[in-house]
Each structure stands twice: as C-alpha cells, then as structure tokens.
Amino acid sequence: MRQIKEDAKKIIHSSIQRVLPDSAVKRALEGKTFLGKVIVIAIGKAAWNMANSAEEILGNRIEKGIVLTKYHHAQGDIKGFSILEASHPLPDENTILGTEKIIDAVSNLSSEDTVIFLVSGGGSALFEKPAGNLDLKDFLQITDELLKCGADIVEINTVRKHLSAVKGGKFAALCAPAQVYTIALSDILGDRPDSIASGPTCADRSTCEEAFAIVEKYGLTLSGEMKKQLSVETPKEVPNSTMLITGSVKELCFAAAAEAKALGYAPLILSTFVDCEAKEAGRFLASIGKTIQQEGFPLKGPCAIICGGETVVKITGPGKGGRNQELALSAAASIAGMEDIVIGAVGSDGTDGPTDAAGGLVDGQTKVILDGAGIAIDDVLAQNDSNRALAIANALVVTGPTGTNVNDLYFLLCK
C-alpha cells in the first residue's frame, strides 16, 4: 500500500512540473519582433512564472512590466517588473490598487506599441476594477454568493464580466490604440478564451441576457447599481487583440499518464471535462476502481485511470475545504476496506479552496482511520469540512503554490 501511495505522489509532482508555463511562454515569444514600446502585464496565479519567462526572452526590450498575483505566489524580483500581490478568491483593496497601476501602465500608448498580456486562472479575482459606481464591497458580496451557489466558472465569469471595468474585452479597449498580444494558460474546460480569467482582452461571447438568467437561476442578490451595470453589454469585437493559448488540463492529464506509465501502471485518460459535483465525481471514480478490481475491465491492474476537470461544490456548511478535498473524501467512503487502490484529486495551482492543501490522496484505510476517530464522512461532507477530516487521516496533499494553473487532476491507481 505504501508503494502505491508513493507512486501517486510522484504522479502528482511530475505532472504539475511538466505543465509549468515557462517553456510555453518562451516559445510563444521567441523570434517575435515588436516595433514600439513593449509593456508586459501578467495576471493570475501563474503570473510570476509567466513574467519571469517573458523577461528571459525579451530582457531590456521591456519598457515596463507588472505582475499581479495571489499572496505568497511571487517568487522574488524580476528585472524591470513591479511585483504586486492581492487576495484570492475574494478580491481586496490591493486587487483594485494593482489593477489601477496596470491601467496606468497601458494608458497613453501609441498604435506602434505592444502590451504583452500573460494571463492565467485566478485572474478574475486578482484583476478587478468595478464598473460604474460599484465598489469593492459590492464585489465581495456578489463574488461570495457566486462562489458558494454551485455555479460553474463560465457562469460565474459571465456575471463578473458585466460588472467589471476590465473584464470581457474591456482591458484591451483600455490598451488601445496599442496592440495586445495575449498568452493564456487555460483553466477553463474546453479553453473558451473569453472565460479564462474573464477574458480581459477577448471579444466577449456572453450577453447581458445570460448574466441576468444566471442571477435568477441561483437567486443572487443584486443592488440597483449592479442591475444597471449588468445591463451594459460587453465588447463583441476587440480589433487590437490577438491571443495564444499555451496550456490546459489536457497537458496535465497527458503528463500524469506518462508518469503513470513510467511507474508501471497502464494509463487510461477517461475525461478532461469532469464538471459535476465534487462528491459525485469521487464516488464515480471509486466505482471504476471497483469495476477494475472485481471485473477486470476497462483495464487490468496495475493501471491508472486519469481525469481532468473542475468540479463544483455547493457550500451548505461552515467547514473548511475545497473541491478536490471533497472529491477525495467522498471517494474514500466508497473504497473503504479495499486494498491496492488509491484515489487522488489535486488542484494544479497548489491551492484547493481557501486552504493550504492542494487536494487529497485517499486509500482503503482512510475511512477506517476516520471511523476510529469517530468522524462520519457524510457529516463532514454536509458541513463542507473536508480539510479537517483529511488532515486527521493524513490524506492531505500539500504542495504550496506551484506556479501553474490548469485545473484539477483526478486519478486512481489500482493493482
């Protein structure tokens, strides 16, 4: 059992290392020529790594650079860059201050100048200036409601784009007449460009009508000013902007499969679009493990079933946890007592919900340990308290900020 867990840890570590954005950003910039001034703006959880790679390629060509990332995600100074940090997943004053500095840096440019925009997931919370007369308080309220209601990220961002002065293509308009070249690391299933960090430089495909439908679907609270801003349509064309997507959950799954194979497990990538409730995904993955061990298909052990995605959680309790921890804990209930099986769920960014863990790694003993401690998994899930339970069962995965952000990896290893 110990070996299979060690193998699972290697798969987590190696797959995340292989999807760091560094070499992809370098490839995207190598050999490119820019006429006028070059301003580099990097936002999101992977902003520091992306900016650092841009600096290695462009060096003194960069007139000004700004990184705006999550607290504790910057890894030091980068020559020519201001390094700013702010709160995630809920914005704070530093979000708005940082965003204003970025707007200043791209104001008064000419049509010969270029803004290189390096964008990664987390950018929606980190890069924000409220539209119209909205303020930070309004954003805290609506973001909190959106994150707790069970809406998926495309829905969440449809609402945020209409309330923001920089999302949904509006940042590209602020850069005009300069050209904007966006290099994006995708944490959106299917890589819809205008949803990645709410598409600050993309023509927005979402509409006011869709935003109001989401408000109604989840019963969100709107002030008068929010209703007014939600009725203002986002740009449907951004002629000064081009975009390249350099990485996504697909690469994370391929990397996990390669490492599993190297460790002697026959890999099968089952889905890169898992978007159901976290606890349902956990039970489903466990059911595949049972099928393998009892029926011998779709693979015979040793094998690895690999999925990527972003599940949702409807927060109903006061506990502490995250999507991946909830998935892993739910899987633990279903594989209780089984041998030679582990199930892992991790966020590639290294943070799962408002916790210090990246996710969970469980086996047949996890529930046994929790039973022994008098902890019932169903109660924990009802309280959304997966972090505490997995800590007690020694089943947390802790990586710290990884420097990348391409959704979540779910896998099972079976012998």
Ligand X SMILES: Nc1ncnc2c1ncn2[C@@H]1O[C@H](COP(=O)(O)OP(=O)(O)OP(=O)(O)O)[C@@H](O)[C@H]1O
Sites of contact with ligand X (CB under 6 A): 45, 89, 121-122, 124-125, 147, 153, 187, 313, 315, 319-323, 326, 347, 349, 351-354, 384, 386, 405
Per the CB < 8 A criterion, the answer to whether 36 and 113 are in contact is: yes
Helical packing angle, 278-295 and 323-334, nearest 10°: 40
Give the tokens for residue 285: 């993955």
Q: CB under 5 to 8 A by kind: which of ligand DGY, ligand X, none does 157 bind?
A: ligand DGY
Q: CB under 5 to 8 A by kind: which of ligand X, ligand DGY, none does 89 bind?
A: ligand X
Give the tokens for residue 392: 């007690």
| Among the listed residues 143, 198, 229, 384, the single contact to ligand DGY using CB under 6 A | 198
- At closest approach, how far in Å is the CB of 252 from ligand X? 13
* 153 touching ligand DGY, by CB under 6 A: yes
- At closest approach, how far in Å is the CB of 189 from ligand DGY? 10
Per the CB < 8 A criterion, the answer to whether 341 and 413 are in contact is: yes
Phi then psi for residue 291, to 5 deg, are -60, -40
- At closest approach, how far in Å is the CB of 159 from ligand X? 14
Q: CB under 5 to 8 A by kind: which of ligand X, ligand DGY, none does 196 bind?
A: ligand DGY
Give the tokens for residue 231: 């009725």
Give the tokens for residue 349: 């960014």
359 Rama class: left (phi>0) / alpha (psi -120 to 50) / beta = left
Per the CB < 8 A criterion, the answer to whether 405 and 22 are in contact is: no
Q: CB under 5 to 8 A by kind: which of ligand X, ligand DGY, none does 198 bind?
A: ligand DGY
Comparing CB distances to ligand X, the nearer of 361 and 413 is 361
Q: CB under 5 to 8 A by kind: which of ligand X, ligand DGY, none does 384 bind?
A: ligand X
- At closest approach, how far in Å is the CB of 302 from ligand X? 31
What does the alpha-carbon distance between residue 133 and residue 193 come to, in Å, rounded to a whole number? 28
Q: Which helix (H) or strand (E) holds 306?
A: strand 303-309
* 364 touching ligand DGY, by CB under 6 A: no
| Among the listed residues 166, 174, 175, 188, the single contact to ligand DGY using CB under 6 A | 188
Comparing CB distances to ligand X, the nearer of 125 and 178 is 125
Q: CB under 5 to 8 A by kind: which of ligand X, ligand DGY, none does 323 bind?
A: ligand X
| Among the listed residues 174, 197, 306, 409, the single contact to ligand DGY using CB under 6 A | 197
- At closest approach, how far in Å is the CB of 104 from ligand X? 24
Phi then psi for residue 48, to 5 deg, are -65, -50
Q: What is the DSSP string of 346-377?
A: EETTS--SSSS--EEEEETTHHHHHHHTT--H
Over the range 86-112, which residues count as b (16 or more CB within 10 Å of their CB) and which as e? bebbebbeebbebbeebbebbeebeee
Stretch that binds ligand DGY, among 73-81, 118-126, 141-149, 274-282 (CB under 6 A): 118-126
| Interaction mask 157-186, ligand DGY, x per CB under 6 A | x-----------------------------
* 65 touching ligand DGY, by CB under 6 A: no
* 310 touching ligand DGY, by CB under 6 A: no
> How distant, in Å, are the alpha carbons of 240, 312, 366 from that of 220?
35, 17, 37
Indicate the DSSP class of residue 184. Answer: E
Comparing CB distances to ligand X, the nearer of 354 and 400 is 354
Judged by CB under 6 A, how many residues of this single chain contact ligand DGY?
A: 11
> How distant, in Å, are the alpha carbons of 120, 135, 190, 289 from that of 43?
6, 21, 21, 39
Residues near ligand DGY (CB under 6 A) are: 121-124, 153, 157, 187-188, 196-198
